[in-house]
Structure 1
Amino acid sequence: MKIKHFLALLFLGFCVDFVGALFKIQHWAGADLLLISGMALKALGVVGLLLKLLTHPKLREYLNW
């Protein structure tokens, strides 16, 4: 996957998390599911982004690993 895909996952996670927070404030059903899925999307986006950045050859050259 490309970096833009991981950034899209991260953005989608923030959007779902925001909607889940609104559901939680209004005491509507499904808020817990939205918050958990938003957190999972954000975690996948961050982990994928870090893996993609740390395995990039120019970063290894820059950090002298």
Structure 2
Amino acid sequence: MKVKHILAIFIAGLICTVLGAMFKILHWQFAPELLSGGTFLQLIAGILGIWKIYTTEEFKKFLNK
């Protein structure tokens, strides 16, 4: 998976989280679902980002210096 895809997932999660917070402030429906979904997307993007960094060859060379 490319880094731009991971960033797209993270940005989508960030947008969902911000919309969920706005819905929560305005007492609209589906606020908890948006907050949970956005947080879940951000978590997945974070795990994928860590996995991408860990499996990169240059990162392994950097750690062995």
Range into which the TM-score falls when normalised by the shorter chain? over 0.9
- d(CA) in 1 for partners of 2:44, 2:2: 13
- d(CA) in 1 for partners of 2:64, 2:9: 30
Which position in structure 2 is the counterpart of 1:40? 40
Runs of 4+ off more than 3 Å: none
What fraction of aligned residue pairs are identical, expressed as a percent? 35
Q: Number of paired residues?
A: 65
Which position in structure 2 is the counterpart of 1:30? 30
- d(CA) in 1 for partners of 2:22, 2:62: 43
**What's the C-alpha RMSD, in Å, of the aligned pairs?**
1.1
Letter matched to residue 7 of structure 1: L
- d(CA) in 1 for partners of 2:24, 2:36: 12
- d(CA) in 2 for partners of 1:37, 1:16: 7
Query: 1:25: Cα distance to partner?
Result: 0.2
2:11 is aligned with 1:11:
yes
TM-score, scaled relative to structure 1: 0.96
Unmatched tracts of structure 1, length 5 or more:
none
Query: 1:32: Cα distance to partner?
Result: 0.3
Secondary structure, aligned partner of 1:45: helix
TM-score, scaled relative to structure 2: 0.96
